Amino acid sequence: MARISIINNIFKDDLGNINFLGKIGISILIFLSVYFITKIVNKVIDKTILNRKSLSTIESTNRIITMTQTIKRIVKYVLLFFALVISLDMFGVNTASLIATLGIGGFALTFGAQSLVKDMITGFFILIENQYSVGDYVQIGSKEGIVEELGIRITKIRDFTGELHIIPNGSITEVTNKTRGGMRALVKVGVSYEDDLDHVLSVLNKVADELKNDEKVIEGPTVLGVTQLGSYSVEISIVAKTIPMEQWAVERNLRKRIKEEFEKEGIEIPYQKIVVLGGEKS
């Protein structure tokens, strides 16, 4: 108890309040704590974020390093600001008004800037969850194309037509990635009601068999069967699983082969047919 009293004498004035010297001491202590807390927080952030498997590519690694540095910097400034406020407070400055002033301003900014914060949080998760990476063919909302850039705030997509779509990450909800796993090629062909269905199916099966060995095809084309009894044609569907981005080529190939084979076998791809009934105007 005596020791504590001595400490008290040095840092406290006659009325038992902490004196100027004591206040300076405490301030130094606070800033030191902030220094060490920052160190610890940085370590924790590094461990949590950087040891992830999604860091396969160098590019995304670089981006995540940038991001963690941003986070660290924010943490550092917040802690420093906090230490400053407490120290000022001890020396009798009315920090309540400081905080209130900042609060009002911050509130005003927040309302306008919330989409900015949302952009960055969503961008962060797209990266961490590896939803898509540069070079993938994706569809986001009504836009689709190849990802050219995956930034903290925006994603750039190059359309098939060459147009460059710039999309803020925060307005991305549903993402459709078309380069993860095999794609489906689907061709629908209509034959006449007068044609023999079994003959048609055997011809289509033959075409399908031919394409089974195509290197673009993962799972050989399958003739599904009658998918619609239309108003003037019987619709038959053929489906195949292909390597990504080659589904359209496979479909074009299938269509050309079917047309050629049908011509050879005399199977009609029918024009629209109408029965016209004679009548006399009364």
Nearer to a second copy, 61 or 130 (CB): 130
Among 38-46, 49-57, 112-120, 209-217, which window interacts with a second copy (CB under 8 A)?
112-120
Residues in 223-252 at the binding interface with a second copy, rule: CB under 8 A: 224-229, 231-232, 234, 241, 244, 247-249, 252
In whole angstroms, the minimum distance from the beta carbon of 52 to a second copy comes to 14
Question: Quick one: which of 56, 57, 102, 135 contacts a second copy (CB under 8 A)?
Answer: 102
**Residue 137 near residue 103 (C-beta atoms within 8 A):** no
**Cα(129)–Cα(117) distance, integer angstroms:** 18
Among 56-64, 65-73, 122-130, 202-210, which window interacts with a second copy (CB under 8 A)?
122-130
Phi first, then psi, for residue 146 (nearest 5°) are -90, 130
* Contacts of 174 by beta carbon, 8 Å cutoff, 6+ apart: 140, 141
Residues in 29-88 at the binding interface with a second copy, rule: CB under 8 A: 78, 81-82, 85-86
In whole angstroms, the minimum distance from the beta carbon of 215 to a second copy comes to 17
Q: What is the sign of the dihedral through the CA atoms of 119, 121, 122 and 128? A: positive
Q: What 3-state class would DSSP assign to 239?
A: strand
| 168 touches a second copy by CB under 8 A | yes
Residues in 178-207 at the binding interface with a second copy, rule: CB under 8 A: 178, 180-184, 186-187, 189-190, 193-194, 197
CA nearest neighbour of 102 among 76, 84, 123, 119:
84
Question: Quick one: which of 99, 146, 210, 220 contacts a second copy (CB under 8 A)?
Answer: 99
Q: How many residues bind a second copy (CB under 8 A)?
A: 121
| 159 touches a second copy by CB under 8 A | yes
Q: What 3-state class would DSSP assign to 266?
A: coil
**Residue 123 near residue 66 (C-beta atoms within 8 A):** no
Question: Quick one: which of 57, 70, 176, 202 contacts a second copy (CB under 8 A)?
Answer: 176
Question: Quick one: which of 109, 135, 206, 212 contacts a second copy (CB under 8 A)?
Answer: 109
Residues in 3-32 at the binding interface with a second copy, rule: CB under 8 A: 4, 8, 13, 15-16, 18-21
CA nearest neighbour of 233 among 274, 272, 266, 192:
192
Question: Quick one: which of 35, 105, 202, 206 contacts a second copy (CB under 8 A)?
Answer: 105
In whole angstroms, the minimum distance from the beta carbon of 260 to a second copy comes to 7
In whole angstroms, the minimum distance from the beta carbon of 124 to a second copy comes to 10
What's 125-187 look like in SS3? HHHHCCCCCCCCEEEECCEEEEEEEECCCEEEEECCCCCEEEEEHHHCCCEEECCCCCEEEEE
**Cα(121)–Cα(142) distance, integer angstroms:** 22
Nearer to a second copy, 45 or 85 (CB): 85
* H or E segment and range at residue 237: strand 234-242
| 135 touches a second copy by CB under 8 A | no
